[in-house]
Amino acid sequence: MIKLYGMTGSGNCWKPAVLMTMLGIEFQWIEIDSVGGETRQPAFLAMNPNGRVPLLQLADGRYLAESNAMLCYLAEGTPLLPPPGYPRAKVLEWLFFEQYSHEPYVATVRFWIHYLHQREHWRDKIAEARAKGEAALAVMETALSRAPYLAGASFSVADIALYAYTHVADQGDYDLSPYPALRKWLESCRQQPGFFSMR
């Protein structure tokens, strides 16, 4: 059976868990205390030299890191990842957008505020990150005001990737009320068969 090493509360770890649930793929969740440093221990680094969760272990023992690589691997051949061509490229565009322009600002601010309870300590960094996080949310709003899902007419792994930290953005003091199309999209994601939220 597939094993998923992850930390509860991490949006990146939630992504492959929700996708496998939607696709009916059985897996075993193995809790890793990432905040407590478990991903930096030799036993974990032997599995993933980059020292991060989530980490997927296939039934044959091979490992795969990077949540969005997992989404592409697991969704191959399903309606959640279009076949090769421009529509697939647009899904990938959003997956890279998520890791470069969204997660480092939306997820990180949430981490400082919601997990570390250090809103004051990180005040300058939070202010800097928030401007970029708001820019990312605005890019999403633009796309979602033109189509129901990020990559177009159909729900895809791009929506899973961006839902991860957007649906808990308020835990990082992000106010989603200026983004009506985005809020409607969050609700559409929740209606997908087999979908579940982190909360």
Asked if 89 is part of the footprint of its own copies (rule: CB under 8 A), the reply reads yes
Q: Which stretch binds its own copies (CB under 8 A): 3-11, 19-27, 60-68, 105-113?
A: 60-68
Asked if 107 is part of the footprint of its own copies (rule: CB under 8 A), the reply reads no
Q: What 3-state DSSP class applies to 42? A: helix
Measured from the CB atom, the residue of 101 and 188 that comes closer to its own copies is: 101
Asked if 90 is part of the footprint of its own copies (rule: CB under 8 A), the reply reads yes
In 3D space, the residue among 107, 106, 114, 115 whose CA is nearest the CA of residue 35 turns out to be: 115
Residues 140-199 that bind its own copies (CB under 8 A): 142-143
Asked if 84 is part of the footprint of its own copies (rule: CB under 8 A), the reply reads yes
Asked if 25 is part of the footprint of its own copies (rule: CB under 8 A), the reply reads no
| Alpha carbons 58 and 74: distance in angstroms, whole number | 11
Minimal distance, residue 171 CB to its own copies, in Å: 21
Residue type present at position 170 = D
Q: Which stretch binds its own copies (CB under 8 A): 13-21, 30-38, 137-145, 166-174?
A: 137-145
| Alpha carbons 48 and 76: distance in angstroms, whole number | 23
Torsion sign over Cα 15, 24, 72, 80: negative
Among 36, 49, 180, 194, binds its own copies (CB under 8 A): 49
Among 31, 33, 76, 170, binds its own copies (CB under 8 A): 76
Asked if 27 is part of the footprint of its own copies (rule: CB under 8 A), the reply reads no
Give DSSP secondary structure letters for 122-184: THHHHHHHHHHHHHHHHHHHHHHTTSSBTTBSS--HHHHHHHHHHTTGGGGT---TT-HHHHH
Q: Which stretch binds its own copies (CB under 8 A): 13-21, 64-72, 172-180, 188-196?
A: 64-72
For helices 67-75 and 157-166, give the axis angle rounded to 10 degrees.
150
Minimal distance, residue 139 CB to its own copies, in Å: 5
Task: Specify the DSSP class assigned to residue 82.
Answer: P
Q: What 3-state DSSP class applies to 31? A: strand
- List residues near its own copies by CB under 8 A: 49-50, 58, 62, 64-70, 72-73, 76-77, 84-86, 88-90, 92-93, 95-97, 99-101, 103-104, 139, 142-143
